[in-house]
């Protein structure tokens, strides 16, 4: 065990101060029967530098009755709680804990705040090893696919977010909408996506989420972008439902400069909040790079146009053909509005300083022209320079324009190319010859002054040891790539000339970008916000969309406008047991090679039934371990109150609002006592375990029934050992109230107790223990029985 400073607290005030001053580097010690073992076995990644002993606080272990209520000091020993005669369920629960030796050490606070007993979580010295489970900061719950006989039968709970959600720049709650699809609720799935991404960019998204999908451990990732594309098409098919005008107007005027992904995202959220939103763009249509930079075969423009039309129907005003900085100054737009958002993108060609550079064509201009007119004369021999997705789009567009020989040269080796692997593979499939590891030296010309090829030099490395772009060349290793038409797709630059001197002086950074906070999109100029490529430099669409959403939230906040945040009500996470066992991802049906064109989309959207089938592969990652406390179900059943150094928390909130009950406590906040109100009726705690001593509950039941002339007047039932938190059977309580406990009613109640279960591979046996224990408790109450003997 690592050494630590040990401090004996003389009061809760002193203990709280020590904990707060430590800034998270100190932990309180109540009983120590569990915590010391956790530290000894190095189960957790972080260990305290100081331990504050609470046992030295006067009255910490007191037990007393006040006004009919029971007051338990947080340090009350379980051996003493087990002796309480007027509180049978509580005494039974305390007596059931481990062994006499442990009960002598263990305390009430320690029992209700103890860590889970999952084998993966408890595996010693596992930090950095095989079992860095999700609850300890890892990415997955190993029990989903592995050993789970003692795990939850009601599902899991979120912990530290999902790997796929965390990888998404917009924070899309992917597991949540996939769960909606598994239930057949497409509208709910749509609403989850629209909370963060109104533009439905799955067709062109780099789907970073799939790289981090935990199914990659067992096979292929869930085809998230394919499923999301199906939901996106559903949304546009029902645009009137999902893109509705706001019910109330705020009277605020917001200008958005740039109708690209970031600008349109901001416009959607701002209009939804009730503002008057005007979008300015120099082009003739909305969409920015989605409209003009991405080929039709990847993103048919009907989808971009449909989204823009939906925004117009919401009330967003578009002013196309207006070039900010020329037709109207940015300062004037700012003066005419309460707030302004700049999402102007990166459209300018970078100057490489290459000999003959003026004889080449800029890749983005090439795509804009082809996407607009769907034709362009380029000849038979085309050379594309660049290794990103734009370069792939340029190369494939050249192929589909009819070029016979399309070559691509880039600095990176194949495994380093920034383009997505599928786009690189598609380019190779369609005949593009890729020259990896070559840098641009100079453009060659013939005697007629026309381009004849490119002189390239060997690139030895692209990045330095810190991962920064710093190419190293062998200037002596030269090759010539013949071509009569060269297109440079080596990046874009941000052009901020439109800002004007005054505004540029306020918000332009030394890097030539807009200086805006990456989280809030606020700039240093009041009322001015910015995001997307104008802030980050060339980047992916989903990051611009996220920035637009962040800007909308900041604008609402700064204008004093409250927007209700849509969230899914609390619920356990469920997965499809058969679905997660499928290790192959869905493959979108593609157009045969010989039939591909500039305008026909290369792939087809998944049919609804196939999208749902693929959603079933989601593991719905979370923690599926069960709450191990014996006292927690009883305190919840008895409607106890948890008193801390700062407030009083109901047992319901304390034990069920968070995965870890102690996470509800603020820094330095400590439990001082538990108040258990007097209650009528027959109350007990029943526990099923492998061995009658030592073992934790396979399942447990805290029950209280008030009977009046054979009829259930009131009832509280709480299961332990079956879910990540104590599980109250509210549906069974409602069913039983007002009924006589006949055999039929008892059987029906037991059946209802299994409602909403989500069985795992090895824990279905718990059902029998749950139903039999509940039946026994109900029969005992009906007979007015005494507690079982100890």
What parts of the chain have a pLDDT lower than 70? 1, 124-131, 566-570, 693-694, 785-790
CA neighbor of 255 nearest in space, from 550, 508, 530 = 530
d(CA 789, CA 611): 55
Taking the CB of residue 441, how many other CB atoms lie within 10 A of it? 18
CB 84 within 8 A of CB 631: no
Helix pair angle (224-237, 174-182), 10° resolution: 70
Could you tell me what percentage of the chain is helix, strand and coil, using 3-state DSSP and rounding each to the nearest 5? 35, 20, 45
Positive/negative CA dihedral, 385, 389, 395, 401: negative
Rounded to 5 degrees, φ, ψ at 465 are -65, -25
pLDDT in the model for residue 570: 64
Q: What's the pLDDT score for residue 331? A: 95
Distance, CA of 486 to CA of 762 (rounded, Å):
62
Q: What are phi and psi of 53, to 5 degrees?
A: -80, 120
Give the per-residue pLDDT at 62: 96
Per-residue pLDDT, 269: 97
Task: Say if CB 699 and CB 722 are below 8 A apart.
Answer: yes
Contact 544, 262 (CB under 8 A): yes
Q: Which pLDDT does position 788 carry in this prediction?
A: 44
Using CA atoms, how far apart are residues 473 and 238, in angstroms rounded to an integer? Answer: 54
Rounded to an integer, what distance in angstroms lies between the CA atom of residue 130 and that of residue 112? 29
Tallying the residues shown for the chain, one arrives at: 790
Structure-token pair, residue 537: 């430099």
The answer to whether residues 178 and 193 touch, using CB atoms and an 8 Å cutoff, is: no
Q: Do 286 and 371 contact (CB within 8 A), yes or no? A: no
Reported as type and span, the H/E element at residue 545 is helix 541-558
pTM for the full model? 0.90
Q: Whole-angstrom Cα distance, residue 730 to residue 737?
A: 11
pLDDT in tens, 548-567: 999 999 999 999 998 877 66
Confidence at residue 565, expressed as pLDDT on a 0 to 100 scale: 76
Do residues 456 and 478 make contact, with C-beta atoms less than 8 angstroms apart?
Answer: yes
How far is Cα 74 from Cα 63, in angstroms, rounded to an integer? 9
Distance from C-alpha of 302 to C-alpha of 233, rounded to nearest angstrom: 11
Max CA pair span of the chain: 110
Q: What is the Cα–Cα distance from 177 to 234, expressed in whole angstroms?
A: 13
Classify burial at 90, counting beta carbons within 10 Å of its beta carbon; exposed 0-12, middle 13-18, buried 19 or more. Answer: buried
Please state the separation of Cα 532 from the chain's center in Å: 21
User: What is the SS3 string spanning 119-172?
Assistant: HHHHCCCCCCCCCCCHHHCCCCCHHHCCCCCCCCCCCEECCCCCHHHHHCCCCC
Structure tokens at 461: 């490395």
- Find the helix or strand (DSSP H, E) in which 470 lies: strand 469-482
Distance, CA of 308 to CA of 199 (rounded, Å):
9
Count Cβ atoms below 10 Å from residue 257 Cβ, excluding itself.
Answer: 26
pLDDT score recorded for residue 168: 95
pLDDT at res. 125: 58
Taking the C-alpha atoms of residue 153 and residue 770, their distance in angstroms, rounded to an integer, is 10
b/e 166-187 (16+ beta carbons within 10 angstroms → b): ebbbbebbbbbbbbbbbeeebe
């Amino acid at each position: 065990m690592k050494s630590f400073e040990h401090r004996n607290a003389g009061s809760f005030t002193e203990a709280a101060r020590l904990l707060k001053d430590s800034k998270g580097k100190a932990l309180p010690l109540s009983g120590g029967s569990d915590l010391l073992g956790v530290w000894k076995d190095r189960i957790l990644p972080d260990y305290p530098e100081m331990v504050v002993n609470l046992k030295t606080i006067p009255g910490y272990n007191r037990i007393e009755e006040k006004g009919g209520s029971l007051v338990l000091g947080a340090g009350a020993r379980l051996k003493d709680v087990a002796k309480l005669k007027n509180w049978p369920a509580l005494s039974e629960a305390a007596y059931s804990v481990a062994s006499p030796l442990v009960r002598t050490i263990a305390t009430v606070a320690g029992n209700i705040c103890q860590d889970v007993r999952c084998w993966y979580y408890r595996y010693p010295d596992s930090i950095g090893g095989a079992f860095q489970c999700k609850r300890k900061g890892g990415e997955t719950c190993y029990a989903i696919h592995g050993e789970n006989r003692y795990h939850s039968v009601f599902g899991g709970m979120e912990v530290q977010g999902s790997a796929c959600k965390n990888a998404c720049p917009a924070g899309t709650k992917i597991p949540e909408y996939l769960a909606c699809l598994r239930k057949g609720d497409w509208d709910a799935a749509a609403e989850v996506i629209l909370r963060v991404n109104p533009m439905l960019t799955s067709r062109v998204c780099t789907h970073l989420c799939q790289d981090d999908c935990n199914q990659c451990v067992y096979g292929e990732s869930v085809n998230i972008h394919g499923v999301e594309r199906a939901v996106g098409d559903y949304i546009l098919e029902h645009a009137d439902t999902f893109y509705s005008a706001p019910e109330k107007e705020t009277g605020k005027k917001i200008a958005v400069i740039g109708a690209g992904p970031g600008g349109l995202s901001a416009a959607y959220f701002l209009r939804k909040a009730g503002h008057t939103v005007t979008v300015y763009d120099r082009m003739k249509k909305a969409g920015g790079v989605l409209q003009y930079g991405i080929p039709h075969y990847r993103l048919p423009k009907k989808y971009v146009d449909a989204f823009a039309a939906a925004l117009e129907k919401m009330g967003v005003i578009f002013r196309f053909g207006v070039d900010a900085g020329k037709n109207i100054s940015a300062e004037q737009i700012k003066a005419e509005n309460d707030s302004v958002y700049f999402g102007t993108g990166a459209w300018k060609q970078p100057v490489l300083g290459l000999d003959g550079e003026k004889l080449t064509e800029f890749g983005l201009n090439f795509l804009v022209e082809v996407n607009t007119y769907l034709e362009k004369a380029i000849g038979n021999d085309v050379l594309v320079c660049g290794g990103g997705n734009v370069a792939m789009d340029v190369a494939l567009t050249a192929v589909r324009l009819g070029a016979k020989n399309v070559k691509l040269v880039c600095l990176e080796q194949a495994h380093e190319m920034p383009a997505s692997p599928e786009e690189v593979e598609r380019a190779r499939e369609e005949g593009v010859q890729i020259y990896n590891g070559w840098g641009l030296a100079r453009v060659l010309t013939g005697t007629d002054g026309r381009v004849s090829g490119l002189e390239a030099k060997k690139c030895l490395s692209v990045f330095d040891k810190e991962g920064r772009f710093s190419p190293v060349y062998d200037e002596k290793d030269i090759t010539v790539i013949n071509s009569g038409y060269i297109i440079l797709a080596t990046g874009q630059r941000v052009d901020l000339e439109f800002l004007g001197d005054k505004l540029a002086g306020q918000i332009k950074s030394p890097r030539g970008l807009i200086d805006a906070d990456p989280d809030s999109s606020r700039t240093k100029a009041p009322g001015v916000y910015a995001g997307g490529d104008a802030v980050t430099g060339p980047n992916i669409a989903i990051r611009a969309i996220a920035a637009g959403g962040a800007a909308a939230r900041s604008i609402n906040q700064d204008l004093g406008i409250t927007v209700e945040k849509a969230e899914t009500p609390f619920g356990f996470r469920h997965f499809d047991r058969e679905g997660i066992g499928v290790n192959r991802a869905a493959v979108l049906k593609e157009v045969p090679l010989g039939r591909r064109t500039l305008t026909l989309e290369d792939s087809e959207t998944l049919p609804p039934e196939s999208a749902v089938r693929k959603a079933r592969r989601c593991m719905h990652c979370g923690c599926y371990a069960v709450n191990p406390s014996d006292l927690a179900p009883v305190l919840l059943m008895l409607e106890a109150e948890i008193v801390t150094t700062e407030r009083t928390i109901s047992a319901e909130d304390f034990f069920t609002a968070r995965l870890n009950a102690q996470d509800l406590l603020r820094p330095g906040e400590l439990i001082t006592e538990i108040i258990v109100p007097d209650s009528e009726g027959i109350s007990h705690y029943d526990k099923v375990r492998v061995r009658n001593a030592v073992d934790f509950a396979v399942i447990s039941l805290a029950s209280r029934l008030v009977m009046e002339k054979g009829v259930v007047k009131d009832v509280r039932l709480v299961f332990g050992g079956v879910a990540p938190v104590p599980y109250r059977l509210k549906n069974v309580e409602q069913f039983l109230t007002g009924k006589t406990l006949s055999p039929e009613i008892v059987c029906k109640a037991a059946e209802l107790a299994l409602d909403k279960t989500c069985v795992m591979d090895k824990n279905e046996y718990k059902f029998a223990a749950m139903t039999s224990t509940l039946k026994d408790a109900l029969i005992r109450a009906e007979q007015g029985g005494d507690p079982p003997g100890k």
